[in-house]
């Protein structure tokens, strides 16, 4: 019964979305009633899709295997959390989650966007409804999650054991919120192109949505990276896998969008480019959805192998991206260019940022799509791996990191490069000093690593230096500079914090890659091995039986500096499907981690053990969290908060209502 | 600086960076990509020793020998066999008779020195490259990979 209601709710939501978009296209110029219809439609869509999603969760939690999807992807013995996450641990369910977040964003605009000009609001909701109609229809017609089985099986097949992890509860919802959140920026861009009206206020309205999506995408990517790191047991945290690139490209483009929207908001310049980026960012999200969902790639993420789905997504992709760019080509020239500035200025620095970020996006795009295109056209199979991306992406990012600290120091309109360089000179000196210090202490060999470290430290210190400079610390009495620091707008702190986070991530990436220690060895119970400053003792193996799997649990004791800690790597076999998995043991020391993977037993009773020491590896994800926090801080800035414009506007005349 | 000069300088800068990026991408595409071969293709194309390639096929029944962390096994496509050596822990789903993709290079003695072994992620999953390869050779059995 619940399933049928859910099915009906999804059909109704798709129908409402279709009607809303048609009504919007027909009447966006005309009446307030159309605006009201679309706003109510947007909220209704969300309520209905949420109900459909709840119906799926209910069926999975109660192990109702008459639902085909629950039968295929769940099992009555799975813990409750994994019963719930099984809902989106498959193609059909994850599409419902995708659509739910899409309509959630639409409903949020409808509820919080009352201060928007009526025509703009109507058009944004029109485009958003069109997206909801298209992807709701896609879900219903090619990947319906509500199909029943008769007779109902007594027991389900289980969720892929590799997905039975807390990561599945966190990673997809975060990532999807980021991905799909950019749909609002897309809708705003298309709305601006249709109405032909765009100004600094437009950027002010779009920026919170871009910022919100960007924060979620940042966290989603970082979480996915950490999950792959601890679950797949290869000790790597980024594989330049096409699916990872699919989420990374919208992030790069979205980062560029955040910066260009800033220029547009403050200086009314870069309008056309900002619109272009808004379209591109969501197009890359859609491309990511296509690559992951169409089955053209082989990876843990590709659940779908039905070719019709791929074709339909490709058609939707062509419709939305092609449509948006056609509109762009027709209307972009009508937008008036404003805001003059010299090349050496804050605007110039932000353009440079955009240039490097978009070039990096192109490099990743080429590396991701080239193998697919080559195979489709010539039948040759190749893989483009880490060396390609290290060379191209690295070569583009290095100059970006070098010029990054200069940006926030530049004045708008016309900057003074010499003066900025003088103000940054001490940071440069300190950077070199710190890097040499770290390098001397670590005693590593000469390689590219110190250069990478130099860049990370430079960016992190440069961010702090900006705050110090703006507060006038060192130039003024301490009390004055403290008051200045406290009085700085939140946007100044969020800029510095975001750049600091990036620097932290870069430092983590460099140290964890360049100074990592690896040891592959065999160990008999009772023997010890040493890696770096850590002595690892193998105490033995015990067999453990848990709810839905049996496991061999290795007992290891790690001694370092007089302290002992227990490590328990596992080799599991999931009873329902007979699938084996390994669970690496990871122990965190400060910011560094010791990573231990347990192998199979040899005939003589020994075990193959793979050990890594990864110095400062956690900084990679910590930096991403800092960046996301910085985004949150910026969102909380009063000047950006949605609704402020209305309060200011209604302050003068009496409210008309 | 006039509006025109400003625009020109921006465009020149853009062009320079883009040209640099395109050059880099082309250079990297020529040297940094890895080709995927079956044992037969490696044999026929006489892939030079030391060139990074991916080798795909089935792990031949009864050929997997493990001593300590050393693993030796034969990768076959039904026509040609190739001995592969790998030091380390094999993936969970590495099995004789199952599909495998091995990253590494041909050694001077004609065997394959593996740096990384990728096996199926689950019972249903088999590397697409291997499936295509086996289908082309008529070795493909549906029951084997289930999907």
> What secondary structure does DSSP assign to A552-592, as a single string?
EEEEEEEEETTEEEEE--EEEEETTT--EEEE-EEEEETTE
Distance CA A330, CA A533 (A): 64
Cβ proximity of A131 and A184 under 8 Å: no
Cβ distance of B122 and A351 shorter than 8 Å: no
Determine the pLDDT at residue A619.
Answer: 96
- Name the pLDDT band for A444 (thresholds 50, 70, 90): low
Asked if the model's pLDDT at residue A515 lies above 70, the reply is: yes
Determine the pLDDT at residue A81.
Answer: 94
Q: Are residues A16 and A135 in the same domain?
A: yes
Cβ distance of A382 and B9 shorter than 8 Å: no
Distance CA A189, CA A195 (A): 10
Q: Are residues A120 and A136 in the same domain?
A: yes
Q: Are residues A601 and A577 in the same domain?
A: yes
The percent of residues in chain A predicted with pLDDT above 90, rounded, is 53
Q: Which of A160, A340, A383 is the closest to B122 by Cβ?
A: A160
Mean of pLDDT values over A78-93: 92
- Name the pLDDT band for A649 (thresholds 50, 70, 90): very low
Among the ranges given (A216-230, A564-578, A635-649, B84-98), the one the predictor scored with the smallest mean pLDDT? A635-649
Residue B76: enclosing H or E segment and its boundaries?
strand B70-76
Residue A371: enclosing H or E segment and its boundaries?
helix A346-378
Q: Are residues A503 and A531 in the same domain?
A: no
Q: Are residues A526 and A477 in the same domain?
A: no
For residue A382, the chain B residue with the least C-alpha distance is: B35
Mean of pLDDT values over A521-528: 91
Q: For residue A582, list chain B residues with Cβ-Cβ distance below 8 A.
A: 89, 92
**Domain finish residue from A133, A164, A195:** A164
**Domain finish residue from A515, A546, A577:** A515
Count H helices, E strands: chain A?
A: 21, 11
* Rounded (10°) CA dihedral B12, B16, B17, B23: 150
Cβ distance of B33 and A384 shorter than 8 Å: yes
Residues of A (381-420) whose Cβ lies below 8 Å from B: 381-385, 387-388, 391-392, 395-396
Q: Are residues A52 and A127 in the same domain?
A: yes
- Name the pLDDT band for A590 (thresholds 50, 70, 90): very high
Min Cα distance B69 → chain A (Å) is 6
Distance set, CA A244 to CA A217, A240, A250, A288, A299 (Å): 12, 6, 11, 9, 10
Cβ distance of A355 and B17 shorter than 8 Å: yes
Whether chain B has a CB inside 8 Å of the CB on A164: the answer is no
In a domain? residue A272: no
Determine the pLDDT at residue A40.
Answer: 95
Distance CA A276, CA A361 (A): 14
For residue B25, the chain A residue with the least C-alpha distance is: A392
Residue partners of A496: CB distance under 8 A and separation at least 6: A408, A463, A464, A466, A467, A630
Q: What three-state secondary structure class fits B105?
A: strand
Distance CA A227, CA B94 (A): 22
Q: Is B35-145 a CATH 2.40.50.140 domain?
A: yes
Whether chain A has a CB inside 8 Å of the CB on B64: the answer is no
Q: Are residues A606 and A463 in the same domain?
A: no
Choice between A99 and A446, residue whose per-residue pLDDT is larger: A99
Tell me the two tokens of residue B79: 């026509």
Supply the DSSP string of A236-300, one letter for each residue.
-S----HHHHHHHHHHHHHHHHHHHHHHHHHHS--HHHHHHHHHHHHHHHHHHHHHHHSS-S-ST
Distance CA A122, CA A191 (A): 9
Q: Which string of b and e fits A504-528 if b means at least 16 CB within 10 Å?
A: bbbbbbbbbbbbbeeebbbbeeeee
Q: For residue B88, list chain A residues with Cβ-Cβ distance below 8 A.
A: 520, 599, 608, 610
In a domain? residue A621: no
Determine the pLDDT at residue B36.
Answer: 80
Query: Which residues partner with A531 through β-bridges?
Result: A534
Q: Which of A299, A351, A392 is the closest to B28 by Cβ?
A: A392
Q: Are residues A550 and A482 in the same domain?
A: no
Q: For residue B94, list chain A residues with Cβ-Cβ distance below 8 A.
A: none
Determine the pLDDT at residue A579.
Answer: 80
Asked if the model's pLDDT at residue A261 lies above 70, the reply is: yes
Determine the pLDDT at residue A8.
Answer: 96
Among the ranges given (A35-44, A257-266, A575-584), the one the predictor scored with the smallest mean pLDDT? A575-584
In a domain? residue A295: no
The two beta strands, A534-546 and A528-531, are: antiparallel
Distance set, CA A124 to CA A205, A258, A642, B37, B147 (Å): 12, 19, 16, 50, 42
Choice between A38 and B10, residue whose per-residue pLDDT is larger: A38
Cβ proximity of B34 and B93 under 8 Å: no
Query: Which residues partner with B71 through β-bridges?
Result: B66, B86
Q: Are residues A511 and A526 in the same domain?
A: no
- Name the pLDDT band for A150 (thresholds 50, 70, 90): confident
In a domain? residue A136: yes
Q: How much is the pTM?
A: 0.89
The alpha-helical segments, DSSP class H, found in A488-637 are: 490-514, 618-635
Among the ranges given (A1-10, A188-197, A551-560, B46-55), the one the predictor scored with the smallest mean pLDDT? B46-55
CA angle A167, A172, A174 (to 5 degrees): 100
Determine the pLDDT at residue B129.
Answer: 57
Mean of pLDDT values over A88-98: 92
* Residue ranges covered by each domain of chain B: 1-33, 35-145
Determine the pLDDT at residue B127.
Answer: 53
Determine the pLDDT at residue B138.
Answer: 60
Among the ranges given (A52-56, A219-223, A437-441, B107-111), the one the predictor scored with the smallest mean pLDDT? A437-441
Asked if the model's pLDDT at residue A128 lies above 90, the reply is: yes
Among the ranges given (A115-124, A588-597, B115-124), the one the predictor scored with the smallest mean pLDDT? B115-124
Min Cα distance B105 → chain A (Å) is 14
In a domain? residue A471: yes
| Residue from A383, A397, A403 to probe the interface with B (highest B Cβ count within 10 Å) | A383
Mean of pLDDT values over A38-45: 96
Mean of pLDDT values over A540-562: 91
Residues of A (75-104) whose Cβ lies below 8 Å from B: none
Cβ distance of B14 and A522 shorter than 8 Å: no
Asked if the model's pLDDT at residue A646 lies above 50, the reply is: no
Asked if the model's pLDDT at residue A593 lies above 90, the reply is: yes
Tell me the two tokens of residue A314: 């490709």
Q: Which of A298, A351, A362 is the closest to B10 by Cβ?
A: A351
Distance set, CA B40 to CA B33, B72, B97 (Å): 20, 19, 18
Q: Which of B6, B18, B34 is the closest to A359 by Cβ?
A: B18
Q: Which string of b and e fits A548-574 if b means at least 16 CB within 10 Å?
A: bbebbbbebebeeeeeeeebebbbbeb
Distance CA B100, CA B56 (A): 6
Whether chain A has a CB inside 8 Å of the CB on B125: the answer is yes
Q: Which string of b and e fits A80-112 if b means at least 16 CB within 10 Å?
A: eebbbbbbbbbbbbbbbbbbbbbbbbbbbbbee
Q: Which of B3, B35, B69 is the closest to A520 by Cβ?
A: B69
**Domain finish residue from A113, A134, A164:** A164
Among the ranges given (A227-241, A458-472, A498-512), the one the predictor scored with the smallest mean pLDDT? A227-241
ipTM field: 0.71
Residue A612: enclosing H or E segment and its boundaries?
strand A607-614
Q: For residue A352, list chain B residues with Cβ-Cβ distance below 8 A.
A: 13
- Name the pLDDT band for A50 (thresholds 50, 70, 90): very high
Choice between A474 and A22, residue whose per-residue pLDDT is larger: A22
Looking at every residue in chain A, the average pLDDT score rounds to 88
Determine the pLDDT at residue A306.
Answer: 64
Q: Are residues A536 and A443 in the same domain?
A: no
> What is the mean pLDDT for each group of 10 consecutive residues in chain B (147 residues)?
70 80 79 80 83 85 85 88 88 79 87 82 48 60 39
Determine the pLDDT at residue A474.
Answer: 78
For residue A374, the chain B residue with the least C-alpha distance is: B35
Count of domains observed in chain A: 3
Mean of pLDDT values over A471-483: 84
Asked if the model's pLDDT at residue A311 lies above 90, the reply is: no
Determine the pLDDT at residue B134.
Answer: 60
Among the ranges given (A146-155, A225-234, A531-540, A565-574), the one the predictor scored with the smallest mean pLDDT? A225-234
Q: Are residues A24 and A136 in the same domain?
A: yes
For residue A360, the chain B residue with the least C-alpha distance is: B21
Determine the pLDDT at residue B66.
Answer: 83
pLDDT tens digits, residue range A316-333? 889 999 999 999 988 877
For residue A361, the chain B residue with the least C-alpha distance is: B21
Cβ distance of A581 and B127 shorter than 8 Å: no
pLDDT tens digits, residue range A615-627? 999 999 999 999 9
Asked if the model's pLDDT at residue A420 lies above 60, the reply is: yes
Domain around A602: 517-614
Determine the pLDDT at residue B28.
Answer: 77
């Amino acid at each position: 019964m619940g399933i049928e209601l859910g099915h009906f709710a999804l059909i109704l939501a798709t129908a409402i979305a279709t009607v809303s978009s048609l009504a919007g296209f027909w009447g966006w110029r005309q009446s307030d009633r159309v605006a009201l219809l679309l706003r109510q439609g947007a909220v209704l869509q969300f309520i209905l899709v949420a109900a459909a999603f709840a119906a799926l969760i209910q069926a999975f939690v109660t192990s109702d295997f008459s639902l085909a999807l629950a039968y295929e992807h769940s099992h009555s013995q799975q813990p409750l959390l994994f019963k719930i996450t099984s809902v989106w641990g498959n193609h059909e369910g994850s599409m419902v989650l995708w659509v739910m977040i899409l309509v959630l964003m639409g409903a949020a605009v409808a509820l919080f966007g009352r201060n928007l000009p009526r025509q703009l609001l109507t058009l944004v909701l029109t485009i958003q409804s069109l997206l909801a109609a298209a992807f709701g229809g896609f879900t219903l017609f090619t990947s319906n999650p509500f199909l029943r089985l008769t007779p109902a099986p007594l027991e389900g097949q289980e969720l892929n054991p590799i997905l039975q992890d807390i990561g599945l509860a966190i990673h997809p919802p975060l990532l999807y919120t980021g991905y799909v959140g950019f749909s609002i920026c897309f809708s705003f861009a298309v709305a601006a192109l249709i109405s032909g009206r765009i100004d600094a206020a437009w950027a002010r309205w779009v920026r919170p949505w871009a910022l919100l999506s960007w924060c979620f995408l940042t966290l989603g990517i970082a979480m996915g990276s950490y999950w792959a790191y601890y679950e797949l047991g290869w000790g790597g945290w980024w594989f330049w896998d096409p699916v990872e690139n699919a989420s990374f490209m919208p992030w790069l483009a979205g980062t560029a969008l955040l910066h260009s929207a800033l220029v547009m908001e403050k200086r009314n310049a870069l309008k056309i480019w900002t619109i272009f980026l808004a379209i591109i960012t969501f197009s890359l999200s859609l491309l990511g959805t296509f690559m992951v969902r169409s089955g053209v790639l082989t990876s843990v993420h590709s659940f779908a192998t039905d070719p019709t789905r791929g074709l339909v997504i490709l058609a939707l992709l062509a419709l939305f991206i092609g449509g948006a760019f056609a509109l762009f080509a027709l209307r972009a020239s009508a937008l008036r260019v404003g805001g003059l500035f010299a090349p050496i200025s804050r605007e110039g620095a932000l353009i440079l940022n955009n240039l490097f970020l978009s070039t990096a996006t192109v490099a990743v795009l080429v590396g991701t799509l080239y193998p697919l295109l080559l195979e489709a056209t010539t039948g040759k199979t190749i893989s483009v791996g880490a060396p390609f991306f290290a060379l191209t992406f690295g070569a583009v990012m290095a100059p970006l990191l070098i010029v990054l600290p200069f940006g926030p120091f530049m004045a708008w309109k016309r900057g003074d490069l010499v003066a900025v360089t003088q103000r940054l000179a001490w940071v440069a000196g300190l950077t070199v000093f710190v890097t040499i210090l770290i390098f001397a202490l670590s005693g590593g060999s000469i390689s590219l690593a110190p250069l990478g470290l130099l860049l990370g430290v430079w960016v992190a210190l440069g961010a702090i230096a900006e705050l110090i400079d703006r507060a006038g610390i060192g130039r003024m009495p301490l009390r004055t500079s403290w008051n200045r620091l406290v009085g700085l707008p939140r946007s100044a702190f969020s800029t510095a914090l975001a750049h600091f986070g990036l620097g932290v991530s870069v430092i983590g990436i460099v140290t964890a890659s360049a100074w990592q220690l690896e040891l592959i060895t065999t160990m008999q119970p009772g023997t010890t091995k040493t890696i770096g400053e850590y002595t690892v003792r193998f105490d033995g193996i015990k067999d453990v039986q848990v709810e839905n799997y049996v496991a061999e649990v290795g007992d290891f004791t790690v001694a370092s500096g007089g302290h002992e800690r227990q490590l328990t790597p596992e080799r599991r076999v999931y009873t329902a499907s007979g699938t084996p998995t390994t669970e690496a043991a990871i122990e965190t020391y400060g910011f560094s981690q010791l990573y231990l993977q347990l192998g199979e037993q040899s005939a003589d009773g020994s075990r193959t053990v793979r050990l890594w020491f990864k110095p400062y590896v956690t900084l990679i994800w910590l930096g991403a969290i800092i960046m996301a926090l910085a985004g949150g801080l910026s969102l909380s800035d009063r000047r950006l908060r949605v609704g402020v414009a209305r309060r200011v506007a209604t302050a003068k005349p009496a409210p008309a209502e | 600086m006039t509006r025109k000069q400003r625009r020109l300088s921006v465009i020149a800068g853009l062009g320079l960076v883009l040209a640099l990026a395109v050059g880099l991408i082309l250079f990297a595409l020529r040297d940094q990509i890895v080709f995927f071969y079956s044992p037969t293709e490696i044999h026929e194309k006489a892939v030079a020793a030391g060139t990074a390639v991916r080798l795909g096929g089935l792990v031949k029944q009864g050929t997997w020998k493990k001593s300590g962390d050393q693993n030796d096994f034969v990768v076959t496509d039904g026509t040609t066999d190739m001995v592969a050596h790998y030091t380390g822990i094999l993936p969970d789903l590495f099995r004789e008779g199952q599909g495998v993709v091995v990253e590494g290079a041909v050694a001077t003695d004609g065997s394959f020195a593996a740096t990384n072994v990728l096996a199926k992620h689950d019972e249903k999953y088999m590397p697409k490259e291997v499936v295509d390869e086996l289908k082309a050779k008529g070795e493909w059995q549906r029951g084997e990979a289930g999907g």
